[in-house]
A and B are shown apart, each in its own frame.
Chain A
Amino acid sequence: MSTHSIEFEVNGQKRTVSVEAGRLLIDLLRYDCGLTGTKEGCSVGVCGACTVIVDGEMVSACLTPAVFIDGSSVTTVEGLADNGKLTPLQDAFIRKGGFQCGICTSGQLMSATSLLASNPHPSVDEIKAWMMGNLCRCTGYYQIVEAIQDAAEASA
């Protein structure tokens, strides 16, 4: 197995890691970087629990080879809050009850962050279409949508 030295930025911090060709981004983040906020759910890119943002776009960390982020900038859930100050979205998730067990929450937050960056005032239909790739077994989704709407209004 070939090994590759990759240089990337994660949550604003520059890192250089030596990875095997078969290393996946989810494992690089969780084990090599110690960022266990990103969760692995289905391992096939469907559930969205492993959603992270790479070079401004949300992707499935379980389907991304680590070598693909050489030279890239990655944001995980740990990189949302600014020195402990939660983003309006994170705050809205708490107030609106956008999570229960929390296993999908990292992915929900990353997808929603990506949505609001791309479309600051999405309609309910736009929210649902975008967030379709993030499954939740607890909330029934209503509070997730409300949290996102709340965050969108907060930044109006």
Chain B
Amino acid sequence: MTTFDYHEPATVAEALKLVKQYGDDAHLIAGGTNLVIMMRQGLVQPKHVIGMRKLRELRGIAPTAQGGIEIGALTTHREVERSAMVARFFPALCETFGHIATVRIRNQATIGGNVVHADPAQDPPPMLLALNAEIVIGSDGKTRTIPATEFFRDFFEVALEPGEMVTAIRIPPQPSGVKGTYVKFLPQSKDDYATVSVAAVLKLGKDGTCEDVRIGLGALGATPLRAPKTEAALKGKKLTDKVVADAAALVRDEVDPLDDIRGSAKYKREMARVWTERAIKSLLK
């Protein structure tokens, strides 16, 4: 481990001042499950590490005035997984968080740390995209909110300017009668990242046609993705087996997966189609 100074600010305002003051020489640490590994391996060598332990105001889940929910950046994955409020709001969101790694990691790792790390194979982002989530970003003096779709820029890169930090993830109210599912395809070990993952949110009208559909894709590009072509091919249509299959086939053109140990690009592209189809079909039952 390289040498560094550890700071533990007592408030978000203090933390933001430190983030601004030290700039590129500093790194924030939330749960630490990722940063500690990178620091032990010498890949990241900050001169200052800013601990977020005392920032209690960033931990917790609360309803928003609009009828959605806001999850503080320091809320652990386990807290989201087991939250009665989140279960009432959108049960598939609890399930999504339950897919991350193991219980032990979920006890320690946080949603804020997760979105800032921005590994496209992570579990929460596809569901956050499918739910039209927004990322709340604080800096010394102000707060801004951007759609999650604009937050993820590239592998391990997010739209945070110097001096900024993620303070919360806000999920808007979902239309009534909407259902969701998160499918994590892992041909190897169950505690791993997905080979491909699909988050599907679907609302059927009274006549059985698709009123609204949103598909989030994980491990299929440089960032988590939506699937606009696939969504367009489903919206307004009666979801017969053929319609769903034809729409899912379009996913192949919407993804740009890597060749890696979890699968070849060709395999992942095909699995994206398979699991998108299965995810949508599972919501029709």
Residue of B at shortest CB range from A19?
Answer: B6
B37 in contact with A45 (CB, 8 Å):
yes
Comparing A62-70, A81-89, A142-150, the segment that makes contact with chain B is: A62-70
A-contacting residues, B226-256, CB 8 Å: none
Tell me the interface secondary structure of chain A in the complex: mixed
Interface presence of A4 (CB below 8 A): yes
Say whether B56 faces chain A, with CB atoms less than 8 Å apart.
no
Does any Cβ of B come within 8 Å of A36's Cβ? no
B105 an interface residue at 8 Å Cβ cutoff?
yes
Q: Is B83 positioned at the interface, with any CB of A under 8 Å from its CB? A: no
B3 at the interface (CB under 8 A from A): yes
B63 contacts partner chain A, Cβ-Cβ < 8 Å: no
B107 pairs with A58, CB closer than 8 A: yes
Give the Cβ gap from A85 to chain B, nearest Cβ, in Å. Answer: 27
Least CB distance, B163 to chain A, in whole angstroms: 22
B32 at the interface (CB under 8 A from A): yes
A48 within 8 A of B: yes
Which of B1, B103, B105 sits near A130, CB closer than 8 Å? Answer: B103
What 1/0 mask marks residues of chain B from 1 to 20 whose CB sits below 8 Å from any chain A CB? 11111101000000000000
Evaluate contact between A59 and B108: CB separation under 8 angstroms. Answer: yes
Chain A 113-145 against B: per-residue CB contact (8 Å), 1 yes, 0 no? 000000000000000011011000000000000
Nearest Cβ on chain B to A137's Cβ, whole angstroms: 14
Q: Is the CB of A45 within 8 A of B105?
A: yes
B positions within 8 Å CB-CB of A = 1-6, 8, 29, 32-33, 36-37, 39-40, 49, 51, 53, 78, 101-105, 107-108, 190-191
Q: A64-B108, A132-B190 are known contacts; what are 5 more A-B pairs with Cβ within 8 Å?
A: A1-B5, A21-B6, A48-B104, A63-B33, A65-B6
Q: Can you sample 29 A-B contacts with CB below 8 Å?
A: A1-B5, A2-B5, A4-B6, A21-B4, A21-B5, A21-B49, A22-B39, A43-B40, A45-B105, A57-B78, A57-B107, A59-B107, A60-B108, A63-B32, A63-B37, A63-B108, A64-B32, A64-B36, A65-B32, A67-B6, A67-B8, A68-B32, A68-B51, A130-B103, A132-B102, A132-B191, A133-B102, A133-B103, A133-B191
